[in-house]
Amino acid sequence: MDIKRVSTISPAGLLAKLNQGMNLELLDVRTAAEYRGGHIPGSKLLSLDEISDESLAQQLGQSIESGLAPTYLTCKSGIIIFAAPDDAQRLRNEFPVSLHGQNILTPSSGSSLRRNLEIRFQRQQTEPLVVAGFEDRALMKTFGERGTGVFTSPTAVERDVIDKYRVEVVGRSDEITESFFVVSPERHIKHPAVNTITQAAKITYSNRVA
Protein backbone atom coordinates (compact mmCIF):
# COMPACT_ATOMS: atom_id res chain seq x y z
CA MET A 1 0.00 0.00 0.00
CA ASP A 2 1.33 3.45 -0.94
CA ILE A 3 1.60 5.58 2.21
CA LYS A 4 0.92 8.70 0.14
CA ARG A 5 -2.65 7.46 -0.26
CA VAL A 6 -3.20 7.24 3.48
CA SER A 7 -4.19 10.34 5.40
CA THR A 8 -7.07 9.55 7.74
CA ILE A 9 -8.95 6.65 9.28
CA SER A 10 -12.63 6.82 10.18
CA PRO A 11 -13.84 5.93 13.68
CA ALA A 12 -15.71 2.98 12.19
CA GLY A 13 -12.53 1.77 10.51
CA LEU A 14 -10.59 2.22 13.72
CA LEU A 15 -13.11 0.22 15.76
CA ALA A 16 -12.98 -2.56 13.16
CA LYS A 17 -9.21 -2.78 13.62
CA LEU A 18 -9.57 -2.81 17.39
CA ASN A 19 -12.15 -5.60 17.10
CA GLN A 20 -9.57 -7.59 15.13
CA GLY A 21 -7.26 -7.45 18.13
CA MET A 22 -4.82 -4.84 16.87
CA ASN A 23 -2.83 -3.21 19.65
CA LEU A 24 -3.94 0.42 19.40
CA GLU A 25 -4.86 2.96 22.05
CA LEU A 26 -7.47 5.64 21.45
CA LEU A 27 -7.10 9.10 22.97
CA ASP A 28 -9.81 11.73 22.74
CA VAL A 29 -8.12 15.14 22.64
CA ARG A 30 -11.19 17.35 22.94
CA THR A 31 -12.11 19.26 26.07
CA ALA A 32 -13.33 17.48 29.20
CA ALA A 33 -16.83 18.89 28.69
CA GLU A 34 -16.95 17.58 25.12
CA TYR A 35 -15.71 14.18 26.28
CA ARG A 36 -18.46 13.99 28.91
CA GLY A 37 -20.99 14.81 26.21
CA GLY A 38 -20.16 11.62 24.33
CA HIS A 39 -17.07 9.70 23.25
CA ILE A 40 -15.98 6.55 21.49
CA PRO A 41 -16.20 3.61 23.92
CA GLY A 42 -12.80 2.71 25.33
CA SER A 43 -11.19 6.05 24.55
CA LYS A 44 -9.20 7.95 27.16
CA LEU A 45 -9.38 11.70 27.67
CA LEU A 46 -6.22 13.72 27.08
CA SER A 47 -6.87 17.30 25.98
CA LEU A 48 -4.68 18.50 23.13
CA ASP A 49 -3.05 21.24 25.20
CA GLU A 50 -2.04 18.66 27.83
CA ILE A 51 -0.23 16.26 25.50
CA SER A 52 3.38 15.52 26.41
CA ASP A 53 5.58 12.43 26.60
CA GLU A 54 4.81 12.17 30.32
CA SER A 55 1.03 12.49 29.97
CA LEU A 56 1.03 10.01 27.08
CA ALA A 57 2.96 7.51 29.16
CA GLN A 58 0.52 7.93 32.03
CA GLN A 59 -2.58 7.52 29.88
CA LEU A 60 -1.22 4.57 27.92
CA GLY A 61 -0.07 2.82 31.07
CA GLN A 62 3.49 2.35 29.85
CA SER A 63 6.71 4.35 29.59
CA ILE A 64 7.62 6.00 26.32
CA GLU A 65 11.32 5.62 25.60
CA SER A 66 13.43 8.74 25.31
CA GLY A 67 13.50 10.01 21.76
CA LEU A 68 10.64 7.76 20.65
CA ALA A 69 8.03 10.09 19.16
CA PRO A 70 4.39 9.03 19.41
CA THR A 71 2.42 8.63 16.21
CA TYR A 72 -0.84 10.48 15.57
CA LEU A 73 -3.73 9.47 13.36
CA THR A 74 -6.58 11.87 12.72
CA CYS A 75 -9.97 10.20 12.90
CA LYS A 76 -12.66 12.37 11.38
CA SER A 77 -16.31 11.82 12.11
CA GLY A 78 -19.30 13.33 10.37
CA ILE A 79 -22.06 14.89 12.43
CA ILE A 80 -25.67 14.00 13.17
CA ILE A 81 -28.55 16.34 13.92
CA PHE A 82 -30.54 14.98 16.87
CA ALA A 83 -33.88 16.02 18.35
CA ALA A 84 -36.46 14.86 20.87
CA PRO A 85 -38.58 12.06 19.31
CA ASP A 86 -41.64 14.15 18.38
CA ASP A 87 -39.51 16.86 16.77
CA ALA A 88 -37.30 14.33 15.00
CA GLN A 89 -40.27 12.67 13.31
CA ARG A 90 -41.57 16.04 12.15
CA LEU A 91 -38.22 17.28 10.82
CA ARG A 92 -36.81 14.12 9.29
CA ASN A 93 -38.71 13.90 5.99
CA GLU A 94 -37.57 17.19 4.45
CA PHE A 95 -34.16 17.50 6.11
CA PRO A 96 -32.23 19.83 5.85
CA VAL A 97 -34.88 22.28 4.57
CA SER A 98 -37.00 21.39 7.60
CA LEU A 99 -34.42 23.08 9.86
CA HIS A 100 -35.34 26.52 8.52
CA GLY A 101 -36.73 28.50 11.46
CA GLN A 102 -36.24 25.54 13.81
CA ASN A 103 -34.71 26.10 17.24
CA ILE A 104 -31.13 24.80 17.35
CA LEU A 105 -28.62 24.38 20.17
CA THR A 106 -25.00 24.81 19.10
CA PRO A 107 -21.47 24.83 20.51
CA SER A 108 -20.21 28.26 21.61
CA SER A 109 -19.72 30.93 18.95
CA GLY A 110 -15.91 30.61 18.99
CA SER A 111 -15.84 26.92 18.09
CA SER A 112 -14.92 25.60 14.66
CA LEU A 113 -18.01 23.40 14.59
CA ARG A 114 -20.27 26.40 15.15
CA ARG A 115 -18.60 28.25 12.27
CA ASN A 116 -18.84 25.24 9.99
CA LEU A 117 -22.51 24.82 10.78
CA GLU A 118 -23.21 28.45 9.97
CA ILE A 119 -21.38 28.16 6.64
CA ARG A 120 -23.26 24.97 5.79
CA PHE A 121 -26.64 26.50 6.60
CA GLN A 122 -25.85 29.57 4.50
CA ARG A 123 -25.02 27.39 1.50
CA GLN A 124 -28.28 25.52 1.94
CA GLN A 125 -30.17 28.80 2.38
CA THR A 126 -31.46 27.42 5.65
CA GLU A 127 -31.69 29.60 8.75
CA PRO A 128 -32.27 27.71 12.00
CA LEU A 129 -32.87 29.88 15.07
CA VAL A 130 -29.91 29.61 17.45
CA VAL A 131 -31.47 29.72 20.91
CA ALA A 132 -28.30 28.95 22.91
CA GLY A 133 -24.57 28.29 22.52
CA PHE A 134 -22.83 25.90 24.90
CA GLU A 135 -19.27 25.35 26.10
CA ASP A 136 -20.46 22.14 27.76
CA ARG A 137 -21.69 19.67 25.14
CA ALA A 138 -23.30 17.44 27.77
CA LEU A 139 -25.45 20.34 28.96
CA MET A 140 -26.39 21.08 25.35
CA LYS A 141 -27.60 17.51 24.89
CA THR A 142 -29.61 17.68 28.11
CA PHE A 143 -31.48 20.71 26.80
CA GLY A 144 -31.96 18.93 23.48
CA GLU A 145 -33.39 15.91 25.27
CA ARG A 146 -36.02 18.20 26.80
CA GLY A 147 -37.10 19.50 23.41
CA THR A 148 -35.50 22.96 23.60
CA GLY A 149 -34.01 22.53 20.13
CA VAL A 150 -32.14 20.23 17.76
CA PHE A 151 -28.41 19.69 18.34
CA THR A 152 -25.39 18.06 16.73
CA SER A 153 -23.05 15.29 17.82
CA PRO A 154 -20.35 13.23 16.04
CA THR A 155 -21.47 10.16 14.12
CA ALA A 156 -18.89 8.14 16.05
CA VAL A 157 -20.93 8.42 19.27
CA GLU A 158 -24.41 8.04 17.73
CA ARG A 159 -25.48 5.04 19.82
CA ASP A 160 -24.15 6.58 23.02
CA VAL A 161 -26.17 9.78 22.47
CA ILE A 162 -29.38 7.93 21.56
CA ASP A 163 -29.17 5.63 24.57
CA LYS A 164 -28.21 8.29 27.10
CA TYR A 165 -30.43 11.18 26.01
CA ARG A 166 -33.39 9.31 24.44
CA VAL A 167 -33.29 11.37 21.24
CA GLU A 168 -33.62 10.41 17.57
CA VAL A 169 -31.71 11.16 14.38
CA VAL A 170 -33.06 13.97 12.20
CA GLY A 171 -30.33 13.90 9.56
CA ARG A 172 -26.63 13.42 8.86
CA SER A 173 -23.76 15.32 7.26
CA ASP A 174 -20.36 13.99 6.23
CA GLU A 175 -19.29 17.43 5.00
CA ILE A 176 -18.94 18.79 8.54
CA THR A 177 -16.50 16.79 10.63
CA GLU A 178 -15.02 16.55 14.10
CA SER A 179 -11.65 14.96 14.77
CA PHE A 180 -10.30 12.40 17.23
CA PHE A 181 -6.74 11.11 17.57
CA VAL A 182 -5.12 7.70 17.90
CA VAL A 183 -1.76 7.38 19.63
CA SER A 184 0.39 4.25 19.46
CA PRO A 185 4.09 3.89 20.43
CA GLU A 186 6.15 2.78 17.42
CA ARG A 187 7.59 -0.29 19.01
CA HIS A 188 4.09 -1.82 19.31
CA ILE A 189 3.16 -1.37 15.66
CA LYS A 190 3.51 -4.77 14.02
CA HIS A 191 0.58 -5.18 11.63
CA PRO A 192 1.57 -4.07 8.07
CA ALA A 193 -1.64 -2.10 7.48
CA VAL A 194 -1.34 -0.24 10.78
CA ASN A 195 2.34 0.43 10.10
CA THR A 196 1.47 1.94 6.71
CA ILE A 197 -1.16 4.20 8.22
CA THR A 198 1.08 5.37 11.06
CA GLN A 199 3.93 6.16 8.68
CA ALA A 200 1.60 8.37 6.65
CA ALA A 201 0.28 10.00 9.80
CA LYS A 202 3.78 10.75 11.05
CA ILE A 203 4.60 12.64 7.85
CA THR A 204 1.66 14.95 8.55
CA TYR A 205 1.76 15.21 12.33
CA SER A 206 5.36 14.64 13.47
CA ASN A 207 5.78 18.30 14.37
CA ARG A 208 2.55 18.59 16.39
CA VAL A 209 4.23 17.79 19.72
CA ALA A 210 7.60 19.22 20.75
List residues bridging with 168 in a β-sheet: 83
* Structure confidence by residue, pLDDT tens digits, 33-46: 667 777 777 777 87
Q: What is the pTM of this model?
A: 0.60
* Structure confidence by residue, pLDDT tens digits, 126-161: 999 999 999 888 899 999 999 999 999 988 788 889
Sign of CA dihedral 80, 83, 88, 90: negative
Listed in sequence order, the DSSP H helices in the chain are: 11-19, 32-36, 53-60, 85-92, 112-123, 137-145, 158-165, 192-205
Average pLDDT over residues 179-189: 55
Rounded CA-CA distance 142/66 in Å is 44
Q: Which domains does the chain have, with CATH numbers?
A: 3-76+179-205 (3.40.250), 78-177 (3.40.190.10)
Q: What average pLDDT does the chain have?
A: 73
